[in-house]
A and B are shown apart, each in its own frame.
Chain A
């Protein structure tokens, strides 16, 4: 079975601080895909990034960076110089097939509050 664990339920940081959101996943698939989605207070789910299991190159996009480590089954997300607009719930998700079709499994989410 596929599983995604986001151990941090809520995080509060002061504006301009860096913050890292942790994600640990479980799957027996050798090929799988990892995602981060953002859910701002307005409620929609916004796609942020996708990583394939065969591509461990880490990525930086503006203030966002992602650290994918297969050895520890982790896919962490860092926001540098956080801003109030970053306040949202962030979901890590795993796309894997297990014994059947590919399905997206979400973690419980981490609520990030950026305090001005």
Chain B
């Protein structure tokens, strides 16, 4: 158990809908990262937040957005869902020194199925 929690574990929804995935980092970690794992693209970095502020952006679609709250939990919002958005979404957290090179510990993931 990495100490990173994600809810829900599974999510089934329809095309065009909007969903919110939630992540709580390990105690003491300030950085949260979101990743998408799909059969086509593999594991891809989406976005990073550090202490409430966006720090880095990867291959995140404009239909997707995220935020980190004062208690450091984070939410990933996916809107106008398409079939291709079906994937396993991981959250990771790290202590995050100023170098940005800390080890990332991953949560159990949320499996999103878009029908």
Partner-B contacts on A (CB < 8 A) = 33, 35, 37, 43-47, 50, 91, 95, 97, 100-109
Given A95-B101, A102-B100, A103-B56, the answer on whether A108 and B2 have CB atoms closer than 8 Å is: no
Closest Cβ of chain A to B46, distance in Å, is 10
Partner-A contacts on B (CB < 8 A) = 2, 33, 42-45, 48, 55-56, 58, 88, 90, 92, 99-101, 103-109, 111
Contact A103 B101 (CB under 8 A): no
**Given the complex of chains A and B, what is the CA–CA distance between A47 and B58 in angstroms?**
21
**Given the complex of chains A and B, what is the CA–CA distance between A81 and B101 in angstroms?**
33
Q: Which A residues lie within 8 Å of B100 (CB)? A: 97, 101-102
Given A100-B56, A103-B58, the answer on whether A43 and B108 have CB atoms closer than 8 Å is: yes
Contact B106 A37 (CB under 8 A): yes
CB-nearest residue of chain A to B41: A108
